[in-house]
């Protein structure tokens, strides 16, 4: 019998069925295994029939590796996979959550909370298209995005990865799936994975389900809701992702009413696969099985049993793959994990791989390297930045607005921790997992942008830490103060206090006491704004986490583009009021309501 699975003209389901019928048990459970690049040797891939490799946040071939270096690494893994008996290619996954953000020199877009402020689904789709190009240029074919969490509490360390507290906005922004994967044609079968071609990537809607609704915003915590509320608030965006042919969905570390999502057969299989008809594959989160039974990994066998039987199809192990495969094999041979469950999972994985075209084109396309970080991509990011900024105050007297600023302004003081810090502008998930301070990649800081946009006779004074000396004998006409949050990720960002870090509030007040001040807040979420500070400043702009293209900020503050953004999250008065959101469950009046945003004209 000829190999139907190798025939690119054969129907996909025939190719899946043919290949599945040829696979041994070891080859099947190997396909269900995703390991981290740091343990992914060619022999491991060949001998264990590994189905997928990933980079954990920031895990790169070497420091400052560029896209071509990544492509060399990933092609190396792929060549090993192609040498296996059946030659099933791997898929390589990365957290491309705001551009291909692990890689030096790529275009870094605003994090999702800023994109939610734009309300612009087509912009987000275009960002997905560009992100896919820059991911494919690095040789990866799989992006762990979009995060479609509905963040109901800014104390959550992943608030900035969510587009909004409002389900309808998150639903709109699932357009990223069509950007990343391409848009399925009319009549595309419901729930069936789709991928247009070699300039697109496999997407992963995450984290299913209710990750943004945990009590007190505790990351990986517990979401307590009725099924109807869970479905209405947190599950709705997944229907939009499935209707766009999303190839994979990542399970959430969190729990629902006390039961962990990774072992939730009702939600993963009965709802997501059977009721909603999702035909791609469900991937676990990083070491999620290890975290199921504490102390850490104490009952790993039980974790594998309960998560795979609940409906997890691919396990992001990512390191202890020998132990994983040993326990997994034993569970299948004992019948505790039925063969039918293995076949269902492998069928789904093979389906996504055939749909992705990776059997026909397993290696990287080096012709894409030219577009990485190119002007057109950075202009798109700049557009996104300018559309994301939210103007909360414009002049002590509304009749005398401060913005847009005059490019001929004589003497401007630029100050604050975030005025000249690209790493702070980008936030977490940038170059490294948890981000960093300083010139971490190629881009334009707020200060860089101001220097370019003002007229020649304008005098710019930059001072990181202003003191009384800064002002003696100086008659600044204006101060631009940029402060905010340093980079953080996941539980490292959980914050019950939400004060502006680095004494940002005090610095801004100190300057505003001396010079008319525009305050720019670089933050992944609403933070405490004291009434006194709000009184002192002339204007307040929230820039969220804008990424590398600082010109998008000066475009709006200096009037080349209008302010457009509107709050994607309710801005609370006090953390004691939390959780407070647009659904009105909490009657406390916010400092600025969801949807608020002043506009300017150019």
Interaction of residue 285 with ligand GLC, rule CB under 6 A: yes
285 counts as catalytic: yes
Contacts of 176 (CB under 8 A, 6+ apart): 124, 125, 127, 128, 145, 146, 203
How far, in Å, are 151, 203, 467, 552 from residue 566 at the CA level? 16, 27, 34, 16
Kindly identify the residues of this chain, within the stretch 172-211, that bind ligand GLC according to CB under 6 A: 206
Please select the residue that binds ligand GLC; options are 18, 27, 36, 95, rule is CB under 6 A: 95
- Residues pairing with 521 in the sheet: 483, 542
The active-site residue, picked from 129, 166, 285, 327, is: 285
Closest separation in Å from C-beta 540 to ligand GLC: 31
Q: How many helices (H) and strands (E) does the chain have?
A: 21, 17
Structure tokens at 578: 């939390």
Query: In this structure, are residues 134 and 364 in contact, taking their beta carbons and an 8 Å threshold?
Result: no
Q: Which of 5, 77, 109, 144 lies at the binding interface for ligand GLC (CB under 6 A)? A: 144
Q: Which of 70, 109, 286, 328 binds ligand GLC (CB under 6 A)?
A: 286
Work out how close the CB of 365 gets to ligand GLC at its nearest, in angstroms, rounded to a whole number. 24
Catalytic entry in 129, 383, 490, 538: 490
Q: For ligand GLC, give the closer residue by CB, 95 or 166.
A: 95
Measured from the CB atom, is 144 or 278 closer to ligand GLC?
144
CA distance 239 to 532: 45
Nearer to ligand GLC, 144 or 563 (CB): 144
Residue 57 within binding range of ligand GLC, rule CB under 6 A: yes
How far is residue 327's CA from residue 366's CA, in Å, rounded to a whole number?
Answer: 39
- How many residues lie near ligand GLC (CB under 6 A)? 8
Closest Cα to residue 387, out of 548, 143, 179, 599? 599
- The residue among 120 and 290 lying less far from ligand GLC, judged by its C-beta, is 290
Considering the complex, what minimum distance in angstroms separates the CB of residue 37 from ligand GLC?
11
CB of 525 to ligand GLC, least distance (A): 17
Q: Where are the alpha helices (DSSP H) in 334-438?
A: 339-356, 375-388, 422-426
Q: What is the DSSP string of 103-160?
A: STTS--PPPHHHHHHHT-HHHHHHHHHHHHHHHHHTT--EE---B--B---TTSTTGG
Site string for ligand GLC, 205-224 (x = CB under 6 A): -x------------------
Cβ–Cβ under 8 Å, residues 403 and 600: yes
Interface with ligand GLC in residues 477-516 (CB under 6 A) = 490
Cβ of residue 337: shortest distance to ligand GLC, in angstroms? 24
Q: 134 — phi, psi (to 5°)?
A: -75, -25
Positions in 336-365 near ligand GLC (CB under 6 A): none
- The answer for 436, left when phi > 0, alpha when psi is -120 to 50, beta otherwise, is beta
- Rule CB under 6 A: say whether 109 interacts with ligand GLC: no
| Calpha distance 312→263 (Å, rounded) | 8
* Member of 30, 51, 56, 597 binding ligand GLC (CB under 6 A): 56
CB of 147 to ligand GLC, least distance (A): 7
Q: Does 153 bind ligand GLC (CB under 6 A)?
A: no
Report the residue number, 303 or 554, with the smaller CB distance to ligand GLC: 303
Q: How far is the CB of 285 from ligand GLC (least distance, A)?
A: 5
490 is catalytic: yes
The residue among 120 and 285 lying less far from ligand GLC, judged by its C-beta, is 285
Q: Is the peptide bond before 290 cis (omega within 30 degrees of 0)?
A: no
According to DSSP, residue 326 is labeled: H
DSSP output for 557-592: HTTSS------SS-B-S-GGG-S--TT-SS-SPPSB
Pick 254 or 470: Cβ nearer ligand GLC = 254
Interface residues toward ligand GLC, by CB under 6 A: 56-57, 95, 144, 206, 285-286, 490
- Residues recognised as catalytic: 285, 490
């Amino acid at each position: 019998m000829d190999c139907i699975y190798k025939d690119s003209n054969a129907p996909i389901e025939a190719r899946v069925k043919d290949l599945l019928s040829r696979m041994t048990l070891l080859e099947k459970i190997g396909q269900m295994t995703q390991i981290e690049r740091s343990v992914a040797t060619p022999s491991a891939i060949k001998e264990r029939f590994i189905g997928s490799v990933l980079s954990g946040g920031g895990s790169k071939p070497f420091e400052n590796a560029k896209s071509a270096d990544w492509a060399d690494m990933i092609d190396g893994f792929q060549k090993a996979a192609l040498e296996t008996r059946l030659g099933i290619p791997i898929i390589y996954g990365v957290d491309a959550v705001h551009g291909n953000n692990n890689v030096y020199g790529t275009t870094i877009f605003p994090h999702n909370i800023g994109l939610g402020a734009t309300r612009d689904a087509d912009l987000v789709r275009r960002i997905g298209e560009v992100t896919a190009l820059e991911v494919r240029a690095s040789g990866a074919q799989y992006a762990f995005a979009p995060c479609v969490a509905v963040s109901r509490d800014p104390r959550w360390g992943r608030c900035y990865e969510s587009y909004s507290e409002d389900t309808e906005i998150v639903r709109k922004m699932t357009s990223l799936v069509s950007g990343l994967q391409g848009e399925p044609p009319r009549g595309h079968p419901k729930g069936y994975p789709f991928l247009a071609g070699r300039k697109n990537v496999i997407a992963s809607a995450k984290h299913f389900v209710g990750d943004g609704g945990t009590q007190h915003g505790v990351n990986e915590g517990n979401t307590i809701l009725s099924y109807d509320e869970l479905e209405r608030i947190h599950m709705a965006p997944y229907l939009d992702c499935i209707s766009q042919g999303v190839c994979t969905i990542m399970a959430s570390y969190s729990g629902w009413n006390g039961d962990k999502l990774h072992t939730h057969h009702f939600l993963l299989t009965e709802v997501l696969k059977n009721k909603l008809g999702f035909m791609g594959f469900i991937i676990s989160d990083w070491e999620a099985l290890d975290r199921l039974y504490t102390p850490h990994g104490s009952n790993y066998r039980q974790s594998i049993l309960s998560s795979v039987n609940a409906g997890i199809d691919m396990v992001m192990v990512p390191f202890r793959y020998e132990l994983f495969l040993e326990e997994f094999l034993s569970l299948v041979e004992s019948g505790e994990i039925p063969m039918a469950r293995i076949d269902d999972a492998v069928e789904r994985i093979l389906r996504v791989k055939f749909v992705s075209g990776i059997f026909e084109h397993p290696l990287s396309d080096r012709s894409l390297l030219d577009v990485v970080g190119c002007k057109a991509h950075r202009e798109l990011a700049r557009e996104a930045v300018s559309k994301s900024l939210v103007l909360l105050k414009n002049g002590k007297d509304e009749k005398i607005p401060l913005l847009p600023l005059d490019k001929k302004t004589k003497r401007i003081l630029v100050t604050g921790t975030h005025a000249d810090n690209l790493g702070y502008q980008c936030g977490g998930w940038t170059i490294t997992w948890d981000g960093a301070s300083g010139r971490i990649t190629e881009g334009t800081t707020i200060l860089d942008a101001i220097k370019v946009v003002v007229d020649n006779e304008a005098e710019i004074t930059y001072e990181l830490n202003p003191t009384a000396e800064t002002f003696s004998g100086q008659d600044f006409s204006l101060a631009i103060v940029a402060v905010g949050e340093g980079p953080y990720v996941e539980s490292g960002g959980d914050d019950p206090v939400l004060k502006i870090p680095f004494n940002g509030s005090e610095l801004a007040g100190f300057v505003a006491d001396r010079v008319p001040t525009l305050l720019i807040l670089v933050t992944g979420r609403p933070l405490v704004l004291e009434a006194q500070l709000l009184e002192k400043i002339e204007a307040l702009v929230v820039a969220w986490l804008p990424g590398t293209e600082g010109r998008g900020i000066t475009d709006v503050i200096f009037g080349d583009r209008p302010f457009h953004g509107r709050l994607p999250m309710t801005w609370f008065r006090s953390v004691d009021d939390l959780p407070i959101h647009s659904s009105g469950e909490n009657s406390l009046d916010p400092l600025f309501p969801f949807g608020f945003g002043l506009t300017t004209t150019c």
